[in-house]
Structure 1
Amino acid sequence: MDTGEEFGPWLARQLKLSGKTQAELAEELGLTRAAVSAWITKRSVPRPTVMGEIAKALGTDIGTVHTRTTDTQAGLPVTWYHRPGYPDGGRDGGNAAAFAFDADVQVLARETCQNSLDERLAENGRPVRVRYTIHELTGETLGAFRRAILWDDLHPHYAAVSEAASHQKVGRVVDAGVRDMFEKGRLVLLRVDDYNASGLTGDDYDDGKFAAVVRRQLESLKSGSGAGGSYGLGKATLWATSALGMVLINSTLSVPHEGRTERRVIGRLELPWRSVDGQPYAGPAWLGRPDPDSPGAQVARSWWADEETVENLHLTRDSDEPGTSFLIVGAHDVASLEQNGSDNDTEAEDEDGVVDDGTRDIRAMHRRLVEALGRDFWAAMTGGGTRLPLLETSVRTLRNGQVVIEEEKVDPTAAQPSRTRALRAYYEGTTVERRTEAGQVACRTVPFKLPLAGGRRGTLGTHPAVLLVTDAEDADGVPNQVHSLRGNRMTIKKSGVSGLPLGVNSFQAVLLAGHAAGNETPFAEEAEEFLRAAEPPEHDRWGQTEELTLRWSHTAHRRIARLTTEVNAAVKELVARPKRSGGEGSPKLRKALTVGRKAAPRRGPGQVLPELDGLEATIGEAGEWRITAEVKLPRGDELPAMTPMVLLDVRSGSRPRLDWAELTAVDGCVVEDGILRFSPGARRAVFRGSTDVTSHPVRTTLTRLVLELRAGKGE
């Protein structure tokens, strides 16, 4: 029957919790102190008949003593411990780490999902499963929850913060959260559960994952180069998303602590400095069981809760699979409120006649969570060949325990169809060198030259990053972008490709670097470490950071700039249409198009004029010529203005000139009074135009078009 913690350590903790000594327990049991000491030191265990007497002495039932999967409820009760004010009179206006992020559920999704990926138990090969639950409480359900979190004990602290709200940003947010709860009679909980993750292992105070998340700020124990986080800031998004500054935690551990794994519970409250009944408090507070080993048994530590307690705190987990549940109390999403502000002016009543002005808010939060997860983690949720997905995510929305929106599993193929197709093709080995059909995925390696550490000159080695290019689809969002990612497959960098060739079909591209390119790829570990150091706390780009400067050099970021240049060049080469003589379109139309080409005159020593390099044309409904032309620009700081001339080709005599009905710049130039002026530093320019039908001497279908580019005003 003994399934929990070893009897000796368990009994020692229960004696501390109940305030009993070994001698007092021995006296109640009618035994010697040596007998109790032998139990504590694990030299022996009590007989079954004595177990019942021990249960009575501890004020619990015989089952608890036998199984030892929970603490007895006798002794020190669960309560809030508020950190006393600093003896030197210092004051904090809130947790500075939380100011690094906005109250935005999309930011929350990015940071929490990244942390769950970092804590994934990779040994079993299964993905980490992350579920977001939005739960609105009203009426008696809200009242029961307030009692569970001991709201009456907290109220004086919130009142003190509200009184000083005009002087503190955190105070104003908290004051608004409290007023929203009481004036509107509603509270939104947002729970983040992960499964197949390590859980908050380690001691309450010593180094470990529990202390890093619950006790400390700006500490990250993620040592692997493939980890997403490195600043210890991501956890702050949990408290930043709570208008009440409160997060409750229930963790199932992958490694036992005190002989236990399930229902390790604690709460943390982030408030600014305050004074309550003349007593100053520094800021944070913890919900837990008073630690008998702390001075005055005041400091609260985590406790092993029973099932009823975690249910009352809305922290019940679906299974005994390792992982952690974070409950954000009073969740608010500024972006959702802004998007739905006008809608909330119109109130509706539910079946009980309760005014419902918040359902739109939680529906918007649901929609934005799904959108963010699909946008940022599509690659982590994609598998193929022998590569399995690293992540599964879902979102559900409840109100007083009733379903508002069914659980929605995020589908990466719906969120990013083109990119998931590209990544799957790479995993399955079905990529091609160059696309010849729709839906194909082109693959190219791009050299990433890694510098030597410590500011030394030279190159450590070349890491072959993998570039994938495929056709874009409408559901992908902005076309012609490169999404860059590394080991944990979260999208880090999103960038467009400038100077694309004329007439490029819309595409999407993916760059896999570090472990994302494959663990066996040369210098994958080194590339992973370098790129991780090149990410800011937001993990949304690669560039110069303090860590990159300290570990490599102040010029190390140039290696990333060079990688970007190589990637853009490879993309342009892969998406460029094959050159065809005479332009594009039907054979009959191609015969009707001519680009005027003459020996390029020089404007001065070493200076060459811009030159027409491509032409596409169609005949419009009104009979006008519609053209798109590309200009190749020579190197130079100041390029001469040029005038595009559209003419009709004839067998003899001068060519009749047509007038422009419209002439517009597309890229690399501007149009002023029919003259092209080119952007400094541009290597290509594109412009469009249509002819004035009234200037056509004959029907368009019977003519051949000639386009020339002349210097100056075209004389």
Structure 2
Amino acid sequence: MGPRGKSRRRVETGEEFGPWLARQLKLAGKTQAELADELNLTRAAVSAWITGRSTPRPTVMTDIAKALGTDVGTVHTRTTDTQAGLPVTWYHRPGYSDGGRDLGNAAAFAFDADVQVLARETCQNSLDERLTENGRPVRVRYTLHELTGEALDAFREVILWNDLFPHYSAVSEAAGNQKVGRVVDAGVRDMYEKGRLVLLRVDDYNASGLIGDDYADGKFAAVVRRQLESLKSGPSAGGSYGLGKATLWATSALGLVLINSTLSVPHEGRTERRVIGRLELPWREVDGEPWAGPAWFGRPDPDSPGAMVARSWWADEETVARLHLTRESDEPGTSFLIVGAHDVASLEGKSDADDESVGDEEGDEDTRDIRKMHGRLVEALGRDFWAAMTGGGSRLPLLEVSVRALRNGKEVVPEKQVDPFAEQPARTRALKAHYEGTTVDRLTEAGQVAARSVPLKLPLSGGTHGTLGTHQAVLLVTEAEGDRDGVGGKNQVHSLRGNRMTVKRTVVPRLPPGTNPFQAVLLVGEAAGEAAPFAKEAEEFLRAAEPPEHDRWGQTEELTLRWSPSAYRRINALTAEVNSAVRELVGRPKRSSRDGGEAVRKALTVRTRPKAKAPAGPVVPVLDKLDATVGDDGEWRITAEVSIPRGDEIVPMVPVAQLDVRTGGRPKLDWAELVAVEGCEVEDGTLRFPPGTRRAKFQGSTDVTSHPVKTTLTRLVVELRAGKGE
């Protein structure tokens, strides 16, 4: 996970005494008056501790520990709850009083039991929960862990398997009539017949964690208590349906997921080791009692009816270790442990050659499944999140990902950091060039990256006819690199929004004959740059155009309700613009008949101009390249390069800055500063070039007081004009 993944664990200072004691009294079923009687103190003294007005003396701490049935160290450190009163247990939701039956969680049926689907959904969720204040990426680690023998027995003991087994037996007996039941029955039989259990853990760091109350609105309740609720912040978030979390339970053949979260915002005065488990089973009848479906593994809530409902609890380090939920640092984030992980896709369509590729090392036969799952995870993460792992220039990666495999705690497959340059070399190179400002207008040499703006005309919401504005997406095209770059298909466009997850993969149709293999990237919304016109509006529009799988843009119910039944045509128009631009950029020049026997060049080529003769009169410089950013005060800052034809006399040029508008004349901006960098001089706002100069560079910044509208809502046009710039 990189050097930050080895950060030292901080020494916990523990919770404030008052809130901690109040919760322990609830857990033990004691009142303040009863504790005061046991300690031979007044109720006012105990009340002062609870409210934080005072703390007990060290000698009284010992008496409090005895009253709560714990050791004095727990009372002093207060890093965990006491074990007295209400031990951790399973709470199963009772059957509905009206006789209704749920034969499985419908949300889980939206996805296949496929680790590649799991990787896409969980990594997307981690990206959405990244803490942005520190600028660091969210780090996600996938750990496959196969348990056998004593390790398996110890794990079943800590999750109270004997209490769960009657429920699994009831589901297995009815498996013939239930799809979920058949999966669960196969999972239980696999564990007993093969004597093994596969755990798949997903850890993220530098993420928000499951913050909020156990029941009230918040991220914890949205994930652990509710279905079809998505609390994503910002339009660039990947998720929007609240379905992605269901892949965790869909990937478990036992329908069981355990959770350990380190919170970015304290809850009950604590941040570390907030633990709970959730079980998803269909309706069942056990010993004559009907049970609705889900169950929770936690500490009984004293405030619930009969103190039956299980809530999260603050576990000690030993407990999380036994649950295989120990986190590597105190960075905020969440660990999801999928119990009985299975990957149907890795078992289908595999040849004998695939099996032989696993190797002949000791234990390979037993660990073949987790090795295949490891490879499929790496493949999916590299395919879908290569852009989020890419940085360049001032843009940092949003994501770091690694995958490893263990067997009874010992490494089977070494931890592999997913490298976007290895998984998607051409596209990664293209995106990095864009971030570093080294793209070109046309492809003339191998390794170049061409950039082109393509318009997305955004409709007005509410079914109103008309256009809100035009968002300029960024298209990047470069040559494909070798066989590795062909994984998933060459000559494709990968489209992505602000969180940089690949949403759409399409093949460009009707390519010119002889086109060399290429790869293309389309950056839309905030991926095109936060300063791009209508970036946030484009994010919102395209997010509404994504189905629950977030793998394409098209007509959806939300798009129809919020915009119109024909809104999807704007996306079709964008696709047509992209395909047309790609075909133009990768087109090969026409060759004469005498060139027929010449070997085809490997690099992408464009039409070349014949060498021009030196003109007899003055030559006119041409603006060749322009980089522009918005300064801290809202001014445009530019760096421009000028190309000059061969000639002895060069016409002086005046740089003119204007705002791009849809109708009418372009408003002209004043320069606050205009500076020559090389190959030219600036005199009274005019660029003058020494004879024989072929290239020049200058920089400038606009005068904010001359801007008629806010800079971030506009686009800049810079021209070179002869004479006085009129």
Specify the TM-score bucket, using the shorter chain as the normaliser.
0.7 to 0.9
User: In structure 2, the residue corresponding to 1:51 is in which secondary structure?
Assistant: helix
Corresponding position of 1:157: 167
**Which residue of structure 2 lines up, in the alignment, with residue 124 of structure 1?**
134
Distance in 2 between the 1:588 and 1:112 partners? 48
Q: Secondary structure at the match of 2:276?
A: strand
Q: Does 2:395 align with 1:387?
A: yes
Kindly indicate whether residue 485 of structure 2 is the aligned counterpart of residue 476 of structure 1: yes
In structure 2, the CA distance between the partners of 1:356 and 1:578, relative to structure 1 (3 Å rule), is closer
Deviation of 1:348 (Å): 11
- 1:548 aligned residue (541, 553, 559): 559
- Taking a change above 3 Å as real, the CA distance of residues 2 and 476 of structure 1, as seen in their structure-2 partners, is closer
| Shift of residue 2, structure 1, vs aligned partner | 8.9
Distance 2:492 2:54 in 1: 68
Q: CA deviation at 1:239?
A: 0.2
Deviation per residue, 1:262-298 (Å, 9 max, x gap)? 0000000000000000010000000000000000000
Provide structure 2 residue ranges, at least 5 long, that are not aligned to the other structure.
1-10, 601-726
Instruction: Tell me: CA distance 1:515–1:12, structure 2 relative to 1, closer, same or farther (3 Å).
Output: same
The CA distance in 1 between the partners of 2:569 and 2:55, in whole Å, is 66
For residues 151 and 350 of structure 1, the distance between their equivalents in structure 2, rounded to whole angstroms, comes to 33
Within 2, Cα distance between the matches of 1:326 and 1:452? Answer: 41
Alpha-carbon offset, residue 75 of structure 1: 1.2
Question: Please, which of 179, 182, 187 is the counterpart of residue 177 of structure 1?
Answer: 187
2:71 to 48, 61, 85: 61
Tell me the residue number matched to 2:468: 460
Task: Write the mapping of 1:399-478 to structure 2, written as runs, cut at 5 A.
Answer: 399-473=407-481, 474-477=483-486, 478=489
Amino acid at match of 1:522: P
Q: Deviations over 1:16-41 (max 9, x none)?
A: 11111111100111101111122222
* Separation in structure 2 between the aligned mates of residue 549 and residue 111 of structure 1, nearest angstrom: 25
SS at match of 1:123: coil
For residue 512 of structure 2, the aligned residue among 489, 494, 501 is: 501
Secondary structure at the aligned position of 1:175 is classed as helix
User: Could you tell me how far apart the structure 2 residues matched to 1:391 and 1:356 are?
Assistant: 31
How far residue 539 of structure 1 moved from its aligned partner, in angstroms, is 0.3
How far apart, CA to CA, are the structure 2 residues paired with 1:3 and 1:567? 56
Q: CA deviation at 1:578?
A: 2.6
User: Among 529, 532, 548, which residue is 1:537 paired with?
Assistant: 548
Letter in structure 1 aligned against 2:456: F
Cα 1:287–1:231 change in 2 (3 A) is same
1:585 deviates by 3.6
Letter in 1 for 2:426: S
Which residue of structure 1 aligns with residue 51 of structure 2? 41
Distance 2:190 2:598 in 1: 70
Q: Provide the residue aligned with 1:683 in structure 2.
A: none
Amino acid at match of 2:240: S
- Shift of residue 356 of structure 1? 6.4
1:659 aligns to what?
none
Counterpart mapping for 1:510-659 below 5 A: 510-582=521-593, 584-585=595-596
Aligned with residue 318 of structure 2, among 308, 311, 315: 308
Q: CA deviation at 1:47?
A: 2.5
- Rounded Cα–Cα distance in structure 2 between residues aligned with 1:165 and 1:349: 37
Residue aligning to 2:283:
273
Equivalence for 1:368: 376
What SS is found at the alignment partner of 2:18?
Answer: helix
The CA distance in 1 between the partners of 2:382 and 2:599, in whole Å, is 46
SS of match in other structure, 2:133: helix
Deviation at 1:345, TM superposition (A): 9.7
Q: Say if 2:95 is the partner of 1:85.
A: yes
**CA drift at 1:61:** 2.1
Distance in 2 (alpha carbons) for counterparts of 1:344 and 1:210: 41
Shift of 1:343: 8.2
- Between the aligned partners of 1:269 and 1:40, the Cα distance in structure 2 is 35
Query: Distance in 2 between the 1:519 and 1:305 partners?
Result: 42
**Partners in 1 of 2:265 and 2:214 — Cα distance?**
14
Aligned length: 587
CA deviation digits over 1:123-170, x for unaligned, max 9? Answer: 101100000000001111100000011000000000000000001000
Give the conservation status (yes or no) of the 8 Å contact 2:263–2:333.
yes
> 1:2 touches 1:68 (CA, 8 Å); kept in 2?
no
- In 1, the alpha carbon distance for the partners of 2:596 and 2:354 equals 53
CA RMSD after TM alignment: 2.0
Query: Who is 1:213 aligned against?
Result: 223
Q: Describe the SS at the equivalent of 2:403.
A: strand
Distance in structure 1 (CA, Å) of the matches to 2:161 and 2:594: 75
What are the Cα deviations for residues 396-421 of structure 1, in whole angstroms up to 9, with x where unaligned?
Answer: 00101111100000010010000000
C-alpha separation between the residues in 2 aligned to 1:11 and 1:418? 59
Q: Which segment is superposed worse, 481-490 or 2-11?
A: 2-11
Residue 581 of structure 1 and its aligned partner are, at CA, apart by 4.5
Q: Would the aligned equivalents of 2:272 and 2:314 in 1 still touch at CA under 8 Å? A: yes
| Aligned residue in 2 for 1:325 | 335
In 1, Cα distance between equivalents of 2:261 and 2:101: 32
Query: Counterpart in 1 of 2:244?
Result: 234
Using the size of structure 1 for normalisation, the TM-score is: 0.80
In structure 1, distance between residues paired with 2:105 and 2:369? 26
Question: For the structure 1 residues 57 and 492, does the alpha-carbon distance in structure 2 shift closer, same or farther, using more than 3 Å as the test?
Answer: same
Distance in 2, Cα, partners of 1:503 & 1:29: 90
Q: Distance in 2 between matches of 1:588 and 1:574?
A: 21
Contact 2:12 2:79 in 1 (8 A): no
Partners of 2:61 and 2:571 in 1: CA distance: 67
The partner residue of 1:377 within 374, 385, 389 is 385
Residue-by-residue CA offset, 1:445-497 (whole Å, 9 max, x unaligned) = 00111001111111111111000000012211211110000000000000011
Specify the alignment match of 2:257 in structure 1: 247
Helix, strand or coil at the partner of 1:358: helix
| CA distance in structure 1 between the partners assigned to 2:38 and 2:378 by the alignment | 59
* Matched residue, 1:647: none
Letter in 2 for 1:131: R
Structure 1 residues 157 and 130: CA distance shift in structure 2, 3 A:
same
The secondary structure found in structure 2 opposite 1:319 is: coil
Residue 670 of structure 1: aligned partner: none
CA contact (8 A) 1:7 1:40 kept: yes
Q: Aligned in 2, Cα 1:23/1:447: closer, same or farther, shift over 3 Å?
A: same
Q: Which residue of 1 aligns with 2:704?
A: none
**Bigger radius of gyration among the two:** 1
Distance 1:2 1:527 in 2: 45
Shift >3 Å, 4+ stretches:
339-351, 355-358, 579-589
Identity score, percent = 81
Q: State how far apart, in whole Å, the 1-side matches of 2:353 and 2:216 are.
A: 49
Aligned residue identity for 2:409: G
Point out the more displaced range, 45-54 or 260-269. 45-54
Separation of aligned partners in 2, 1:588 and 1:210:
62
Q: Which amino acid aligns with 2:442?
A: R
Q: Map of 1:282-301 to 2, 5 A cutoff?
A: 282-301=292-311
CA distance in 1, matches of 2:417, 2:361: 27
Provide the rounded CA distance (Å) in 2 between the counterparts of 1:535 and 1:582. 49
Check the 8 A contact 1:344/1:360 in 2, yes or no. Answer: no
State the one-letter code of the partner of 1:265. Answer: V
**Matched letter for residue 429 of structure 2:** R
Q: What does 1:135-150 align with in structure 2 at a 5 Å threshold?
A: 135-150=145-160
Please say which of residues 356-365 and 528-537 is displaced more in the overlay: 356-365
Which residue identity does 2:411 align to in structure 1? V
Contact 2:370 2:405 in 1 (8 A): yes
**How many Å separate the matches in 2 of 1:229 and 1:6?**
36
